[in-house]
């Protein structure tokens, strides 16, 4: 039986999530990869225990994380039952629905039928009565937004989630969702967008500032641009990398064009000057201005958790550093 470290809260930074009373760790663990039925359960445990021992209290799931679909939640439920349930009150567990999950017209999108059925399935797999945060995973143009937001409201009122959020919505879509949820009195506290040094759309779209100004938390996924910002591709493609193994449907050799990699090399030089790895600088950069509540990290082994957390040792950037980085990324 796992026993958590007594020092687990000593070093982690906790940020208030928007205007809510909930605080999230500056780094959260995403379970998109490495927690499916194809992965080793003992390694999963080591990753989860290392994260929790170092103050990462937020564990981010979705109904179709795997592979196979749903297996990440099933594995998390098994590990909760065997080791982590004594710490449930110290954990923030989130899940989502919105992408394809099962066959037929009721296993995708944003209908009330799909969202409520999906969360019920997630709770069974996790062995929980409620999740702390439940997200609609992506906008659905075929479902009235009022229906989707009404489903999120009903989920909270049924006690199946404490808070709700959205993911992959742009600023205009977020504004509309915010207005509906505010009228309903639904605790909409967080948005999960894609955000990295190489993907700054939430800045140009205005979403990042909108969330901050309206008291909605922001948690960034894909902060390392699917591994491009780890530095592992600076000298070619390692055979054991996602591109080298061909295991990632989202990252291919075409993502490593010369212009982009030249930018990455220049960023790596700045990271070295700061005494950080490129990975650590990329993570700390996202947290630099206090407008992002938490950054989602992934891990295939526990050592990566420890390395990533070191990014929190220096999340301050000088104006000169910010200027140089902006010039590189322009």
| Within-domain flag for 112 | yes
What is the pLDDT tens value at each position of the chain, 330 positions in all? Answer: 999 999 999 999 999 999 999 999 999 999 999 999 999 999 999 999 999 999 999 999 999 999 999 999 999 999 999 999 999 999 999 999 999 999 999 999 999 999 999 999 999 999 999 999 999 999 999 999 999 999 999 999 999 999 999 999 999 999 999 999 999 999 999 999 999 999 999 999 999 999 999 999 999 999 999 899 998 877 655 556 555 456 666 555 556 688 899 999 999 999 999 999 999 999 999 999 999 999 999 999 999 999 999 999 999 999 999 999 999 999
CATH number at residue 46: 3.20.20.100
Is 74 part of any domain?
A: yes
149 domain-assigned: yes
> pLDDT digits over 226-263, tens only?
899 998 877 655 556 555 456 666 555 556 688 899 99
Residue 94 near residue 119, CB atoms below 8 Å: no
Q: Measured between alpha carbons, how far is 219 from 252 in angstroms, rounded to an integer?
A: 25
> From CA 75, how far away is CA 61, in angstroms rounded?
11
Q: Does residue 269 sit within a domain?
A: no
Number of folded domains that form the chain: 1
Predicted structure pTM score: 0.94
CA angle 110, 160, 118 (to 5 degrees): 40
Q: Phi and psi dihedrals of 186, rounded to 5?
A: -85, 135
Among 54, 137, 148, 132, which residue's Cα sits nearest to residue 94?
132
Which range marks the domain in which residue 96 is found?
14-232+284-313
């Amino acid at each position: 039986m796992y026993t958590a470290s007594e020092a687990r809260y000593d070093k982690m930074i906790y940020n208030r999530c928007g205007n809510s009373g909930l605080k999230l760790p500056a780094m959260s663990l995403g379970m998109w990869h490495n927690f499916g039925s194809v992965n080793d359960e003992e390694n999963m445990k080591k990753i989860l225990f290392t994260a929790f021992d170092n103050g990462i209290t937020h564990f981010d799931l979705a109904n179709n994380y795997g592979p196979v679909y749903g297996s990440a939640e099933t594995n998390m439920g098994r590990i909760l039952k065997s080791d982590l349930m004594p710490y449930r009150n110290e954990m923030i567990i989130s899940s989502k629905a919105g992408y394809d999950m099962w066959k037929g017209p009721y296993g995708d999108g944003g209908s009330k039928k799909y969202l409520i059925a999906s969360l019920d399935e997630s709770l069974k797999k996790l062995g929980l009565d409620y999740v702390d945060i439940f997200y609609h995973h992506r906008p659905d143009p075929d479902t009235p937004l009022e229906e989707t937001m009404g489903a999120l409201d009903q989920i909270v009122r049924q006690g199946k989630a404490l808070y709700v959020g959205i993911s992959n919505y742009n600023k205009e879509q977020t504004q509309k969702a915010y207005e509906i949820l505010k009228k309903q009195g639904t605790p909409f506290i967080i948005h999960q967008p894609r955000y990295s040094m190489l993907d700054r759309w939430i800045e140009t779209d205005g979403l990042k500032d909108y969330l901050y100004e309206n008291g909605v938390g922001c948690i960034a996924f894909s902060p390392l641009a699917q591994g491009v910002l780890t530095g592992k591709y600076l000298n070619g493609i390692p055979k054991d990398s996602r591109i080298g193994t061909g295991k990632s449907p989202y990252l291919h050799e075409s993502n490593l064009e010369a212009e982009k990699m030249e930018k990455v090399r220049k960023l790596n030089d700045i990271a070295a000057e700061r005494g950080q790895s490129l990975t650590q600088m990329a993570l700390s950069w996202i947290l630099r201005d206090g407008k992002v509540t938490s950054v989602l990290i992934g891990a295939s082994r526990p050592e990566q958790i420890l390395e990533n957390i070191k990014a929190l040792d220096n999340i301050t950037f000088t104006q000169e550093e910010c200027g140089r980085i902006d010039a590189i990324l322009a």
